[in-house]
A = this chain, B = another copy of it.
Amino acid sequence: MEAAAVRTTLRSGEVLFSQGDPGDSFYVIEHGEIEISVLANDGRKLALDILRDGEVFGEIALFGGERTATAAALADCVLRQIRRADVLATLRRKPDLALDFIEALCDRLRSLSRKLEERAFLPVPVRLANRLLYLDAKLGAAGRVTVSQADLADFVGATREGVAKVLAVWRSRNWVAVSRGSIEILERAALERVGDAYRK
């Protein structure tokens, strides 16, 4: 689709761009895993999403602005980078593509809006339940979410200890099984109930 794409690679742990950078291109993940997050200046982190093969990111800064988030590789990655000028030219030529692009932006808006809402209104256990289910569906390893509690905490917007305590309760009810580096969902329905608790 885009012949102008440049292939770039990234080692696990490397930061592709940081919040505040100028940024004039967006990326398609050919293979790998990228974490999108925002950082407080004291080092706290809020993870927004984890993206995998086939997903795109970095579009927000395309139209004259700074990067609003930080993108880092969770695993070795092969990316295709597409520069602003190429994107603009293509969108101008292909209105249908522009509409797709708009739709993608609207999806982003929706998910961000939902995150803000959850953050504003829902307590930690509810957010944790939602995020666990989301990660399970997305990283799809059938009921097993492979992520450390520390990373999970960043994703939920809480502390590692706080997450551990909620998981301790759930474990005691046999809703989840916890092991080093991963969490297994045993009672999906129970977590869904918790996640829905506040959503009427």
Q: Contacts A99-B88, A99-B91, A99-B92 known; A116 to B106 CB distance under 8 Å? A: no
Chain B residues lying within 8 Å of A40, measured Cβ to Cβ, are 117, 120-121, 198
B120 engages A46 (CB within 8 Å)? yes
Interface flag for A145 (CB, 8 Å): no
Among the 9-residue stretches A6-14, A58-66, A134-142, A186-194, the one with 4 or more Cβ atoms under 8 Å from chain B is A58-66
Among the 9-residue stretches A71-79, A107-115, A167-175, A176-184, the one with 4 or more Cβ atoms under 8 Å from chain B is A107-115
**Interface residues of A, CB < 8 Å — how many?**
44
Checking B44, B106, B116 against A105 with a beta-carbon cut-off of 8 angstroms, the contacting residue is: B106
A109 engages B199 (CB within 8 Å)? no
Cβ of A121 to closest chain B Cβ, rounded Å? 4
Cβ proximity bits A69-100 to B, threshold 8 Å, 1 near / 0 not = 10000000000000000001001110110110
Q: Is the interface of A mostly helix, strand, loop or mixed?
A: helix
A95 engages B91 (CB within 8 Å)? yes
Cβ proximity bits A28-70 to B, threshold 8 Å, 1 near / 0 not = 0000000000101110101000000000000111111100110
Taking A46-B120, A46-B121 as given, write out 16 further A-B residue pairs in contact, using a Cβ cutoff of 8 Å, ordered by the A residue number: A38-B120, A40-B121, A41-B198, A41-B199, A42-B198, A44-B121, A60-B110, A63-B102, A63-B103, A68-B109, A68-B113, A98-B98, A98-B102, A109-B112, A112-B112, A119-B120
